[in-house]
């Protein structure tokens, strides 16, 4: 069995997970107001940016890892297509991560919404109410 054949099996599993996540996302969205095409464009743009950055980073660290001899390959089982010294097949791990992890995150989403990513410093948003906000009543000081 070649490296590509193994990758095809695992990428297939990733695709199934992604399909389940997409279906669940649609079902959940049905009850709410439509998120709109603009929101969708933002999601697609973010996914594109994430993909480009991760693949470039993979090319860098995979080349370093193989270059210093952390891992070796049986030349008979890889296609021979390489980016530097990194077999193209290795990028399947990153592609899988890009699809699988956000899918699992979505599948795990429940009633409680996750906190949103923020530029705000952690000290200002998390934990007990700051004593510097005397206006906050006891009800709000969570």
Partner 1 sequence: MGAAYLVALLISLAGMAALDRRFTLFFWRDGWRAAVTLLVGVAFFLVWDVVGIDLGIFFRGETSFMTGVQLAPELPLEEVFFLVLLCWLTMNLHSGARLALGVLAARREGARA
Q: How far is the CB of 129 from partner 1 (least distance, A)?
A: 18
Q: How far is the CB of 9 from partner 1 (least distance, A)?
A: 8
Q: How far is the CB of 56 from partner 1 (least distance, A)?
A: 11
| Residues forming beta bridges with residue 86, ordered by sequence position | 83
If the CB atoms of residues 49 and 129 are measured against partner 1, the closer one turns out to be 49
Residues of this chain that interact with partner 1 (CB under 8 A) are: 1-3, 6, 10, 13, 42-43, 45-47, 49-50, 53-54, 57, 68-74, 77-78, 93-94, 96-98, 100-102, 104-105, 108-109, 112, 114-122, 125-126
Q: DSSP per residue over 80-104, as a string?
A: --EETTEEGGGHHHHHHHHHHHHHH
If the CB atoms of residues 122 and 138 are measured against partner 1, the closer one turns out to be 122
Paired sense of beta strands 86-87 and 82-83, if any: antiparallel
If the CB atoms of residues 117 and 138 are measured against partner 1, the closer one turns out to be 117
- Is the separation of the CB atoms in 11 and 97 below 8 Å? no
- Is the separation of the CB atoms in 111 and 31 below 8 Å? no
Phi-psi region of 19 (alpha: psi -120 to 50; beta: other; left: phi over 0): alpha
């Amino acid at each position: 069995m070649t490296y590509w054949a193994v990758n095809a099996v695992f990428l297939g599993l990733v695709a199934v997970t992604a399909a389940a996540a997409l279906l669940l996302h649609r079902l959940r969205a049905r009850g709410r107001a439509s998120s709109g095409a603009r929101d969708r464009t933002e999601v697609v743009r973010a996914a594109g940016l994430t993909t480009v950055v991760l693949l470039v980073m993979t090319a860098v660290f995979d080349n370093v890892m193989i270059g210093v001899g952390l891992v070796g390959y049986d030349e008979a089982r890889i296609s021979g297509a390489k980016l530097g010294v990194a077999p193209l097949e290795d990028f399947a791990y990153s592609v899988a991560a890009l699809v699988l992890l956000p899918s699992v995150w979505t599948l795990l989403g429940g009633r409680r919404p996750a906190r949103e990513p923020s530029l705000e410093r952690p000290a200002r948003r998390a934990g007990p109410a700051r004593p510097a906000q005397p206006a906050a009543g006891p009800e709000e000081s969570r």
